[in-house]
């Protein structure tokens, strides 16, 4: 473990930096499987991640040394397993708060936990929970954020980065410190029971909220508006006649 200058109470106070790793989430899981205790708030940061993953088992591609690929260990034992999505909300809101001073009002959360600027993806979150009884013993919070990368593969049509948007480079460790501070604050709010406040803030940050857009489900394309997210994390859509709810693998956003 390496000490560092992250200013939070515990998130980032133990920082492990790696030149290359298959996945920071996998590295952190392997650390937990060893006998040596791993402090809550430990952050694994890698210059290059060659087997990064996103939602739906998608791969996450990032140019080495230009982006944030990191994982954070949280121990939300206070959270019942039926409230797992509230941890997702807290992490998403924390990242939103950290980045909004830089990116402004076009910054959104695309359900369930992609970070969008306008119609472009700039980051994503992958939380892997380790359960014990009815609680979450450990949560491994993986974060990928496109920062200083200025070009993407031709088959990646909706990706962007802070550099492409704002035309400047950013210090990765300083930006990660800001992200950790935002996540820690929202996580402590969740621990303090401010669940309703976090749910409301997450809903107001949603990409496509109250906008008529095209969606696809069961090979059927339809127009609807996002009106919110249920307590357990289902996306709520309103079409012309009824309210519909969808889980992650049941709905596709169309351009």
Q: Give the pLDDT confidence score for residue 4 in this predicted structure.
A: 58
Name the band, by pLDDT with cuts 50, 70 and 90, for residue 56.
very low
Q: Give the pLDDT confidence score for residue 255 in this predicted structure.
A: 83
pTM, whole model, 2 decimals?
A: 0.93
For the chain, give the percent of residues with pLDDT over 70.
94
**Tokens, residue 5:** 């200058």
Parse the chain into domains and list their residue ranges: 15-204, 212-253
Q: Give the pLDDT confidence score for residue 5 in this predicted structure.
A: 63
Q: Are 92 and 125 in contact (CB under 8 A)?
A: yes
Selected residue with higher pLDDT from 75 and 7 = 75
pLDDT one-digit tens code per residue, 216-243: 999 999 999 999 999 999 999 999 999 9
Phi, psi of 202 (to 5 degrees): -60, -45
Q: Give the pLDDT confidence score for residue 99 in this predicted structure.
A: 98
Q: Give yes or no for residue 35 having a pLDDT over 50.
A: yes
* CATH code, 15-204: 3.30.930.10
Q: Give the pLDDT confidence score for residue 100 in this predicted structure.
A: 97
Q: Give the pLDDT confidence score for residue 81 in this predicted structure.
A: 94
Average pLDDT over residues 85-111: 98
Q: Give the pLDDT confidence score for residue 180 in this predicted structure.
A: 97
Parallel, antiparallel or unpaired: strands 220-229 and 135-145? unpaired
H helices of 147-244, in order, are 162-166, 172-191, 195-204
Give the dihedral sign, CA 77/78/83/85: negative
Q: Are 144 and 45 in contact (CB under 8 A)?
A: no
Q: Are 44 and 26 in contact (CB under 8 A)?
A: no
Distance (Å) of CA 119 to CA 114, 127, 140, 144: 11, 23, 27, 17
Q: Give yes or no for residue 162 having a pLDDT over 50.
A: yes
Write out 30-66 in H/E/C secondary structure. HHHHCCCCCCCCCEEEEEEECCCECHHHCECCCCCCC
């Amino acid at each position: 473990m390496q000490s560092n200058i992250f200013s939070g109470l515990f998130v980032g106070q133990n920082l492990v930096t790696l030149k290359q790793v298959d996945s920071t989430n996998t590295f952190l899981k392997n650390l937990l499987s060893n006998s040596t205790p791993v402090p809550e708030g430990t952050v694994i940061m890698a210059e290059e991640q060659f087997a990064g993953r996103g939602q739906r088992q998608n791969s996450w591609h990032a140019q080495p040394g230009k982006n944030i690929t990191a994982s954070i260990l949280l121990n939300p034992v206070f959270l019942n397993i039926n409230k797992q999505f509230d941890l997702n909300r807290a992490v998403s809101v924390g990242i939103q708060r950290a980045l909004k001073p830089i990116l402004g009002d076009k910054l959104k959360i695309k359900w369930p936990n992609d970070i969008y600027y306008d119609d472009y993806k700039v980051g994503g979150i992958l939380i892997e929970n380790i359960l014990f009884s009815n609680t979450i013993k450990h949560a491994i919070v993986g974060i990928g954020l496109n920062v200083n990368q200025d070009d993407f593969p031709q088959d990646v049509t909706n990706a962007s980065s802070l550099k492409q948007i704002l035309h400047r480079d950013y210090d990765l460790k300083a930006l990660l410190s800001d992200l950790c501070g935002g996540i820690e604050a929202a996580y402590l709010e969740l621990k303090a029971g401010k669940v309703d406040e976090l749910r409301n803030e997450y809903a107001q940050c949603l990409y496509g909220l109250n906008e008529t857009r095209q969606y696809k489900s069961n090979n059927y394309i339809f127009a609807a508006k996002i009106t919110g997210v249920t307590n357990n994390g289902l996306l709520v859509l309103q079409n012309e006649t009824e309210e519909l709810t969808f889980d992650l693998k049941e709905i596709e956003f169309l351009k």
